[in-house]
Homo-oligomer: A and B are copies of this chain.
Amino acid sequence: MALMTPQLDTVFAALADPTRRAILAMLLEDDMAVTDVAEPFEMSLAAISKHLGVLTASGLVSQEKRGRVKWCKLEPDALREASVWMQGFGQMGGLDLDAFERFLDKELGD
């Protein structure tokens, strides 16, 4: 059993939280500072900072500090692997998903 592509683990785990999905939706519109990301939520800034850490660790978001502001940017490419994995699932019966995950490792590896 292959059980590779640990990126899938972190990406799907990141997507499993509604707060994090809402953050991604916000970042879809524009890059944002951490404080601005946190503004609409009824939870502490530190909690949002942690969520952004999870998103960054999964590759779904990148962060760049300029001055005292840390800008958060959506990285849609990180969704490709997960999305393609799911597409394959829904649409192609009988596919060898182990081979498929190996394919994704190779294609998306860099």
Residues of A within 8 A of B (CB): 1-6, 8-10, 12-13, 15-19, 21-22, 24-25, 28-29, 40-41, 74, 76-77, 79-80, 82-100, 103-104, 107-108
Contact = CB atoms under 8 A, between A and B. Distances in A.
Indicate how many identical chains form the complex.
2
A contacts with B: majority SS:
helix
B77 A91 contact: yes
A17 B16 CA distance: 11
B93 A86 contact: no
Contacts of A104: 92, 95
Given A97-B25, A99-B107, A86 B79 contact: yes
Contacts of A29: 94
